[in-house]
Amino acid sequence: MTCAAKDKTARSADDLIAGGAVTADRREEIEAVAGRYAVAVTPAMLDLIDPTDENDPIARQFVPSAAELDIRPEELADPIGDDAHAPVKGIVHRYPDRVLLKALHACPVYCRFCFRREMVGPGGAGLSGAELNAAIAYVAERPEVFEVILTGGDPMMLSPRRLSDILDRLDAIPHLGVVRLHTRVPVVDPERVGKALTDALRGREKAIWVAVHANHPREITDAAKQALRRLAEAGAALVSQTVLLRGVNDDPAVLEALFRELVKARVKPYYLHHCDLAPGTAQFRTSIEDGWRLMKALRGRLSGLAQPTYVLDIPGGHGKVPVGPGYLEGSDAAGWTVEAPNGQLHSYPAAPGSAAPEGSD
Ligand SMILES: *Cc1c(COP(=O)(O)O)cnc(C)c1O
Ligand code: SF4
């Protein structure tokens, strides 16, 4: 079924047309956007795109559109404030006990809604040997750092040899407990999760957690499930991150199917991210109230194992926080009012001898 043009990652308007992801009349539009933001669509994702569907949720995530050139005043080049917390090149240290280590800028695909779209892209060498030494020394010198999160770019784009070298050096730091990899590779380029990569992860001193980025149930293909199985068999614990995206997954049935597919593949849904204020991404953002409605629709209908936490990264680098929805509807001297999954309200008494519960929300 796969034609030759789908055997390699599409990186230009011509590649996308040849790969059957778009029609030739969109060449100029795509070239205009590609001049501004990196483009890459892997063969596995090209295969999923239905070019006859104007609202295809896979195309919407990866195929450039003119809407990206519409930049709103509230949008920021560095929406989550990485630069405000970068003590040495490649390290972001915002929370006391964990740091991001960004060893490279490359990703297997370039998502049109990316929160780091001004930073990621092909080319740009990533960290030099000396810079990587300095970044690892920063971690080694700080006993309060418990967890290193490899991100970028995508750490599974490192050669297995380079990844293995970084993991060897992190394994040797006594105070670290966890090494986490944030990646889209198992979903968008599952063949890359081969023996060399899983061997690099296997048998590690530190607990390896892999946080897989997935947004639509169609992304969880048989090949992706097999890649996830290989990671689980290599001893990695698996969680997922999903970005809430208008026109892609802002539908309770779509999120339900996605989270069910993930738990079936041994992946615990971890975060549902409210879409960040990255430039040219207004077309993807829902309201927070929409996010609440979606989360409420899943509560009670879907196993607790399949429920992520809905989070917002506060613009400017102030941190990620859960943004609801809440189920405590109010309080008085007698106690709380609590909303059940079906929307009915119930009361719950104040603890004996306690002051009246504070505040309602
Ligand atoms: C998201 C993020 C983390 C990880 O946060 P968790 O809530 O532990 O997943 C760590 N550091 C920075 C700078 C981040 O943006
Ligand atoms: S994989 Fe992640 S970092 Fe890379 S383009 Fe997509 S959202 Fe951005």
> pLDDT (tens digit, 9 = 90+) per residue, 125-183?
789 999 999 999 999 999 999 999 999 899 999 999 999 999 999 999 999 999 999 99
Q: Check whether residue 174 and residue 311 sit in a common domain.
A: yes
The reply to whether 37 and 139 lie within a common domain is: no
Residue 113 has pLDDT above 90, yes or no: yes
275 and 342 in a single domain? The answer is no
Q: 356 lies in a domain?
A: yes
pTM comes to 0.96
State percent of the chain over pLDDT 70.
Answer: 96
Positive or negative, the Cα torsion across 41, 42, 44, 47? positive
Domain membership flag for residue 246: yes
Residues 179 and 289 in one domain: yes
| Any atom of ligand 2 within 6 Å of the Cβ of 62 | no
Question: 174 in a domain, yes or no?
Answer: yes
Note if 313 is an active site residue.
Answer: yes
Phi, psi at residue 46, to the nearest 5°? -55, -40
pLDDT of residue 150: 98
The mean pLDDT of 292-303, rounded to a whole number, is 96
Confidence of residue 355 (pLDDT cuts 50, 70, 90): low
Q: Is 180 a catalytic residue?
A: no
- pLDDT of residue 217 exceeding 80, the answer is yes
Residues 260 and 336 in one domain: no
Whether residue 76 is contained in a domain is answered as: no
93 and 136 fall within a common domain: yes
Both 284 and 345 in a single domain? no
Confidence (pLDDT) at 227: 98
> What integer pLDDT is reported at residue 352 of this predicted model?
87
Asked if residue 211 belongs to a domain, the reply is: yes
The reply to whether 356 and 270 lie within a common domain is no
41 shares its domain with 87:
no
Return the CATH number at 245. Answer: 3.20.20.70
Which of 65, 93, 111 represents a domain boundary (last residue)? 65
pLDDT of amino acid 46: 97
Q: Whose CA is nearest to atom 7 of ligand 1?
A: 320
Residue 75 belongs to some domain of the structure: no
Asked if residue 102 has its Cβ within 6 Å of ligand 2, the reply is: no
Q: Are 185 and 198 found together in one domain?
A: yes
Ligand in closest contact with the CA of 153: 2
What is the mean pLDDT of the segment spanning 263-275? Answer: 98
Single out the residue of 29, 42, 56, 61 nearest to residue 2, CA to CA: 42
Based on the fold, state whether residues 352 and 275 are members of the same structural domain. Answer: no
The protein residue with its alpha carbon nearest to ligand 2, atom 4, reads: 107
Average pLDDT of the chain is 95
Q: Are residues 118 and 254 in the same domain?
A: yes
> Is 95 labeled as catalytic in the residue annotation?
yes
Does some domain include residue 191? yes
- 78 assigned to some structural domain: no
Range of the domain at 350: 327-361
Number of domains within the chain: 3
